[in-house]
Amino acid sequence: MRTKHLLISLLMAASLAACLPGPETPHTLPTRTPVPTRAPVPPPRPTSTPMFETRAENYYEDPVGSLRVLFDVRNANDYPVERVRAIVVLRDEGGKAIASQTAYARLDLLAAGETAPVMVVFFLANPDFAIHEIRVDARKADYMVELLHATLQIVDPSGRVGEWVPYEVLGTVHNAGDLDAESVTLAVTCYDTQKRIVAVGTGRAEDRAIPVGGSSEFLVSLGALAGDVDVCRVQVEGLISRQR
């Protein structure tokens, strides 16, 4: 009987030993090859807003009852700009905006320090305003720099009272460069004795293309004046000819 109990005890001990965990095997943690991180990207540098000055401002009602606001825009940046746009806002005595209109400068590109005329027209309206403000924007010139002819010159400009128009400006465009020019346009700005703009006009040279060393005459008619003309400025732009 005692032998039987001993045998049962041995069997139970063997079963218990089988259930107990054996000696632990050390585990190796997985390793990862370090991956280089991307260098931090600095935030984009803010682009400065182009700076402009306006001068020689004047406004008047033309013969058909439209309000015309005239002024020069000067590129006060150290780089050329293109597509110069001016917005004129008219406000009442309380500062409330009552009308606004937009126009572009009469030159496609303004070099650093260069000035071009703008005429903003409130068509068939002459609002009763107390103050006005002018906002100007543009973009830094890119493709226009490569397209425009750089050596067109104005020769012997003069002004006179026109037979059918209040005033006209005439002269000659000379191509002093080594490339042919085409699509030559003129921008005319006339001032009174107080240096206020009294007229703005645009026109074209008589010849569509001006070869190297060649010249072409022009005549620009001014249909309305804000006062007596004292002096006029003529500016010229043209494209480099694509014809070879």
Claim to verify: residue 140 and residue 194 sit in the same structural domain: no
Helix, strand, coil shares, percent, the chain, to 5: 10, 50, 45
Range of the domain at 187: 148-240
Q: Within 10 A of 140 (CB to CB), how many other CB atoms are there?
A: 13
Predicted TM-score (pTM) of this structure? 0.78
Query: What CATH code is carried by the domain that includes residue 110?
Result: 2.60.40.10
Q: What percent of the chain clears pLDDT 90, i.e. is strictly above it?
A: 73
User: Tens-of-pLDDT digits for all 244 residues of the chain?
Assistant: 545 454 445 445 555 445 545 555 454 445 555 545 555 555 555 456 789 999 999 999 998 999 999 999 999 999 999 999 999 999 999 999 999 999 999 999 999 999 999 999 999 988 999 999 999 999 999 988 999 999 999 999 999 999 999 999 999 999 999 999 999 999 999 999 999 999 999 999 999 999 999 999 999 999 999 999 999 999 999 999 987 5
Whether 10 is covered by a domain: the verdict is no
**Do 224 and 62 form a contact (C-beta atoms < 8 A)?**
yes
Quote the CA–CA distance of 170 and 242 in Å, as a whole number: 27
Whether 214 is covered by a domain: the verdict is yes
HEC assignment per residue over 156-178: EEEEECCCCCCEEEEEEEEECCC
Amino acid at 100: S
Residue pointed to by tokens 């007596």: 228
